[in-house]
Structure 1
Amino acid sequence: MNIKKGLVLGISLITLFFTTPYTPADDKREEKGEEKKVYVLDDIVVTAPAIISGNEVNRLGSQVTHVTMEQIQDLNAMDLTSALRRVPGVVISRHNQVGSFGGGEGGAIFIRGKGSSRPGAEIQTLIDGIPKFVSVWTHPIMDALNVDIVDTIDIYKGAQPVLFGNMAFGAVDVQTKRMKDTGFYTGIKSGYGSNKTHMASVEHGGKTERFDYYLLGGYRSSDGHRVNADGELQDLFLHMGYDFTAKWGMDLTLIYTDNWADDPGPIDLSYPSDGRFNNDDFFMVATISNNYERAKGYVKFYSDKGDIDWVNQEGTPGYDTLTDYKNYGIRARETITPWQKGELMMGIDLDYIRGKARFLHPVDGNSAFPEETFRIFSPYASLSHTFGSLDNIYFIPSIGVRHLNHTEFDSETAPQAGIILGIKETRLHASYGKGINYPGIYAKVQDNLWMPGDNRWSELEAENLDHFEAGVEHRFSSKLIVDLTWFYDRGEDRIVTSPPPPFPPILTNIGEYKNRGIEGSITAIPISGLSLFGGFTYLDSAPDDLPYAPEWTFSAGFNYSPVDNFQISMDTQYVDDQYVTSRARMRNTVNTDEVDSYFLVNGKISYDFRLTGCDADWQVFLAAENITDTDYEQKKGYPMPDLGFMIGFIAEFN
């Protein structure tokens, strides 16, 4: 299925038709939903925080990093990987300027050394709390998580069994845009840059007393910095909400994406280009929610259906892998206050994971894996209580557990616990969580099609991870926040293939790894109009060839408005040398691909203004990527773009 560029233009015209120049100027986009306690800076600041919006510690004692649409705009991020690559603890890999090729090193995110196993995944990606991944291969496709729809991205860097369940050694949850305040809003954005890179989006939202809606269409494309490094992203988004009463409401979210990316192949031509990766996806979630003084929650019905077509593999026309997937289910959660300062969260997830695949080859012939469905049923609960006063000294212990029942594999129980100790402006936290990662449909695919004999796939157990974390945050003032976090991950029962002898090869749980390290960040506002951010991660991994686990990473950035309406945004990133390429599921496998360290500098300047007689806020901007013109790679043999520019504008009608 293809979306024509004219469809995006059509959405643009419809949006402009609904735009009225008489809406109040103070109406704006805001997230509709649960209010979060995030440590942000005082209202005197006229610039958004750089790189990240802030860090939060939830009631389970886990640190969560937030990135909002303001940071995405300041970074001129074209996709989710570029939006997250400066976040401490996050490393990315990609081939192209626009478009992710596949679900591995052609477009993926990794958190503190986790997330490199393919097939399969350890990092759960979600939209509005609903998991989003390709069922057969059990990994996300980054292009199906378009940045146009983002209001906030929540990054969980450790295991989260209670909140997210299976496949959550870490998690990235995208909270989508919607209107909260009464009124109307329209936004138009367009840009053009190096390598014939295009970017355009149009969005429109409105809210009356009980009804709200948000429409969005986006388009991105690039010819790429190399031959066959081109790609294209298209997305359509609709959110509608209706409040039946002050306590009850419902929401409907629809997202459609249609994307493709080519593989440029290694620069030395040691092997041919690996063809084109196409993916389209239709995502739907319907939510019924309640919000009482002592209870709030939701029931979500969701469906995620799509296909990925990897065609002309190894430069061979007709050598294709065609995958169809459909994930659907129900997720329900209720959080109540059973007594003063206590919180009880209870929920049930029912997830169906379905998919099939065809494998075409012009010489070797064709094969197919018939449609298969896995089901996971998982109830969970957590309990916490606040002792003391949040304004002085307080202590919040918490405990939680999730039980997972799988149709194909043994049941698992995953506990989680945490503590928070606050003493005025200092906050200490510690937590433990057991991550569970069940084998995906890929295990049965390997058994049916590629591995001879009885491979004992049905005897596999879930991979598991013990995650420990402890940290401290201190607010020296409202303009200076410093935090430091220690973490330790112990992964066991990793699924690998044990080759003969003896025959046959079998799938078994014998892989192990460990990650430990320290992560820190500082957010400061030394003067009005200037926000600074700096962060680092030190990571010690075993085995030491674990891919995408650099020993040191640093990121820093600032937003500065020297005069009204003018802003300079800069960000830098250092990534140590690292092993790359997805870690194969083979016993005693050793990674040999390694790339050198690199240091990147990116920037953007913008100017805001209003035209006489036009009820719109305008911005023109110039963005530069890789200002130092650094030669670097994120996959061996795949050089990344040199210095590049983009010029564009944003118009907002209120």
Structure 2
Amino acid sequence: MRQTSLSGRAVLVLAALTAQSSLSRAEQPLALELPPIEVVATPIIAGNEVDDFAGVSSVVGEQQIRDLNAQDVQSALRRTPGVSISRYNPVGSFGGGEGGAVFVRGLGSSRPGGEVKTYIDGVPVMMGVFNHPLMDILPIDAARDIEVIKGAQPHRFGNTFSAINLSPKRMLSDGERLELQLAGGSYSTYVQTLEAGYRKGPFDAYMSQGYRRSDGARDRADGRLSDVYGRLGYALDSHWDLSLTALHSDNRASDPGEQGRPETREGDYATRLSLGILTLSHEHEQASGSLKLYWNEGEGDWTDQAPPSGNTLTDWEQYGLRFTETWRAWSGGELLFGLDLDRVSGKTRFEPTNAPSSTFNGPTFGLDSPYIAVNHRFGVGGGWELIPSAGLRYYSHNAFGDEWAPQAGLIARNASTELYATYARGVNYPGLDVVVFSQSIIPPLGESWRDLEAETLDHFEIGVRQQLGPRLHGELTAFYDDGDNRYVIDPPPPPPPRYANLGAFRIRGAELTLNAAPRDDLALFAGLTLLDTDPADLPYAPDTSVSLGANWQATPRIQLNLDAEYVSSMQVLSQARRFEAVNTEEVDGFFLLNGRLSYALPMLADGSEVFLALENLTDTDYAYRPDYPMPGTTAMLGVNLALR
């Protein structure tokens, strides 16, 4: 019955938006071709995007990050439709699961391993040995914007079912930028950031540095984030650019344990990352593309765990390349092709309290993945155009079998309406996690990991984007994900345990977003996400979530930003890699309201301000894990000083 109800609601809203489109075209055919109206920045997200291959994404920009007073990636994405988060502490993520993670449309809760991958400037950044994201190694200070890739999109990202890509900051026009932020708040929370940029002629440079720490609302709920980022660029001529990007982060978070039970604490989790990317890019009238060579190494150290676990100290290294090229070789046509090469290796040292230490030295896993996609625009009259597309990605792994990932899409659009439909296959390979578990954690697994295949996901999506007037825009999408071949441990009987591709899941859902600008000084946002999962206990996949946002420029110098969220009750904790594992832990639904009030400083450059940010204005009792209560109402007072 839940499936019928969800489908019915999606179809009704889709029909209503399409009907409104027809009325608007019939009665006022030119009404939506007015010049753009300058209003305050859109709250919550900068916008949803549908590319010419019918790939869907949501983008949170630098202005939204500031308006949300986001101190990390989770808080920047916490109101994005289709996204759920988890955390223990105000600052810092404890590990990569329920202690700090991001989930997209019900995907991403498997641990170890994960169906959602994270990227910086299009290159993979994650825990290399246990094969899942670590949010603290994605520094928010370096982000020009954060893109949430919704569903499989083989023409953009491989070896994942969904993706989060952080685009780093750079100087786009000649001039200088210098900005300092100082802030302090509840529970001895302190924030300090510094940014500087310069561009003149062919040369550009940018750097950022950030430091955050907090004691947290509970004993041992403390955390620290620190990072430094830099980019140097040089235009070789009017078409070719060369750039070098470097980043380093060093972070730590503690586990406060269940409320009233200090014996359940699981110690500290520290992460470190060093990243380098060398990029050669070009932009011509008929072609554009880039070649990126990347390298990163990181550490994930879990210390002072409850006996007998002790310490688990992990190091990893990743390197490879990203090549992509787009040819506009004929009128209306576009040919996209590229190649991803990835290598990952690592080691883990286990220091239990009741046995001698041991070290896992993993093999090097390699994945080569070429891809190609094509689209073409057809004018069909009446101001409409059709854009069919198709693509294919091939995977060659040095430890597991080869895979193919096809995709197809169709877009129909005019000046005020866009209809789209897409199918794409996602592929997600096991990582070094299956080797370390077999050799060091559950030795009876033996060599069974060698018989594993890649996980697959068939993603279907249809949607409509409709300009309902010069100040109102609506979007509705419905999607279906069919996941298969999930790799799990099949326990005895009969012995021994073994790895096998036995898991499967289904996710049906819909998203509705509305953006309104009733006045030049007021911008409003509303988002609704509905999910229906099978099995019903998929973690961090609430049946219903609602996001609301408002930005109001009260005077030329005073701005008020509000964001709110309702999340229904949901299953929580990580989805175990065990056959027929059931998630029984659940948290209640909750409503949260946050606000930020700022006053622009007239004597300095644009962006200079003093601000007061309040979280959980309604003092709601809520948690992302049972007996791990989040803070009540908290405050932060700060200043941004800018020179440009």
TM over 0.5: yes
Matches of 2:493 and 2:136 in 1, distance apart?
A: 41
Q: Deviation per CA, 1:508-539, whole angstroms, max 9, x where unpaired?
A: 00101100011100000011110000001010
- Residue 159 of structure 1 is matched in structure 2 by 152
- Residue 273 of structure 2 is matched in structure 1 by 281
- Residue 236 of structure 1 is matched in structure 2 by 228
- Residue 195 of structure 2 is matched in structure 1 by 203
Q: CA deviation at 1:385?
A: 0.5
Q: CA deviation at 1:453?
A: 5.4
| Residues 6-85 of structure 1: pairs in structure 2 closer than 5 A | 44-85=37-78
SS at match of 1:372: coil
SS at match of 2:446: coil
For 2:497, the aligned partner's letter is: P
Matches of 1:55 and 1:427 in 2, distance apart?
A: 12
| Residues 198-277 of structure 1: pairs in structure 2 closer than 5 A | 198-269=190-261, 271-277=263-269
- Residue 371 of structure 1 is matched in structure 2 by 362
Q: CA deviation at 1:271?
A: 4.2
Matches of 2:34 and 2:227 in 1, distance apart?
A: 33
Q: Deviation per CA, 1:70-123, whole angstroms, max 9, x where unpaired?
A: 001000011000100100110000000000000111000011110000000111
SS at match of 1:72: helix
SS at match of 1:245: coil
Matches of 1:298 and 1:400 in 2, distance apart?
A: 19
SS at match of 1:458: helix
Q: CA deviation at 1:360?
A: 0.5
Would the aligned equivalents of 1:162 and 1:415 in 2 still touch at CA under 8 Å? no
Matches of 2:470 and 2:48 in 1, distance apart?
A: 14
| Residues 102-117 of structure 1: pairs in structure 2 closer than 5 A | 102-117=95-110
Would the aligned equivalents of 2:445 and 2:499 in 1 still touch at CA under 8 Å? no
Query: Could you tell me the percent identity over the aligned residues?
Result: 43
Would the aligned equivalents of 1:41 and 1:479 in 2 still touch at CA under 8 Å? no
Would the aligned equivalents of 2:39 and 2:519 in 1 still touch at CA under 8 Å? no
Q: CA deviation at 1:138?
A: 0.6
Would the aligned equivalents of 2:215 and 2:223 in 1 still touch at CA under 8 Å? yes
TM-score, with length taken from structure 1: 0.92
Matches of 1:531 and 1:642 in 2, distance apart?
A: 27
Q: Deviation per CA, 1:193-224, whole angstroms, max 9, x where unpaired?
A: 00010011011000011000001111001010
SS at match of 1:409: coil
Give unmatched runs, 5+ long, in structure 1: 1-38
Would the aligned equivalents of 1:274 and 1:315 in 2 still touch at CA under 8 Å? no
SS at match of 1:224: coil
Q: CA deviation at 1:140?
A: 1.1
Would the aligned equivalents of 2:532 and 2:543 in 1 still touch at CA under 8 Å? yes
Distance 1:257 1:510, change over 3 A: same
Matched, 1:89 2:82: yes
Would the aligned equivalents of 1:236 and 1:256 in 2 still touch at CA under 8 Å? yes
- Residue 176 of structure 1 is matched in structure 2 by 168
Would the aligned equivalents of 2:362 and 2:435 in 1 still touch at CA under 8 Å? no
Q: Deviation per CA, 1:261-296, whole angstroms, max 9, x where unpaired?
A: 000001141742100001110011000111111001
Q: CA deviation at 1:465?
A: 0.4
- Residue 114 of structure 2 is matched in structure 1 by 121
SS at match of 2:218: coil
| Residues 483-632 of structure 1: pairs in structure 2 closer than 5 A | 483-611=475-603, 618-632=608-622
Matches of 2:605 and 2:567 in 1, distance apart?
A: 44
Q: CA deviation at 1:451?
A: 3.1
Matched, 1:342 2:342: no
Would the aligned equivalents of 2:307 and 2:353 in 1 still touch at CA under 8 Å? no
Q: Deviation per CA, 1:309-366, whole angstroms, max 9, x where unpaired?
A: 10001277x8100000011001111101010111001101110011111110121222
Q: CA deviation at 1:43?
A: 5.3
Range 567-576 or range 474-483, more displaced? 474-483
Q: Deviation per CA, 1:384-421, whole angstroms, max 9, x where unpaired?
A: 01111899211101101100000000000001111100
For 1:233, the aligned partner's letter is: L
Matched, 1:456 2:448: yes
Matches of 2:165 and 2:624 in 1, distance apart?
A: 24
SS at match of 1:634: coil
Would the aligned equivalents of 2:488 and 2:577 in 1 still touch at CA under 8 Å? yes
2:629 to 639, 647, 652: 639
For 1:133, the aligned partner's letter is: M
Matches of 1:80 and 1:390 in 2, distance apart?
A: 44
- Residue 15 of structure 2 is matched in structure 1 by none
TM-score, with length taken from structure 2: 0.93
- Residue 18 of structure 1 is matched in structure 2 by none
2:371 to 376, 380, 399: 380
Number of matched residues? 612
Q: What RMSD over aligned residues (CA atoms) do the two structures have, in Å?
A: 1.6
Would the aligned equivalents of 1:199 and 1:220 in 2 still touch at CA under 8 Å? yes
Q: CA deviation at 1:588?
A: 1.4
- Residue 332 of structure 1 is matched in structure 2 by 323
Q: Deviation per CA, 1:114-161, whole angstroms, max 9, x where unpaired?
A: 000000011111111111111111111101111111111111111122
Q: CA deviation at 1:42?
A: 6.8
Matches of 1:363 and 1:164 in 2, distance apart?
A: 43
Matches of 1:371 and 1:190 in 2, distance apart?
A: 43
SS at match of 2:266: coil
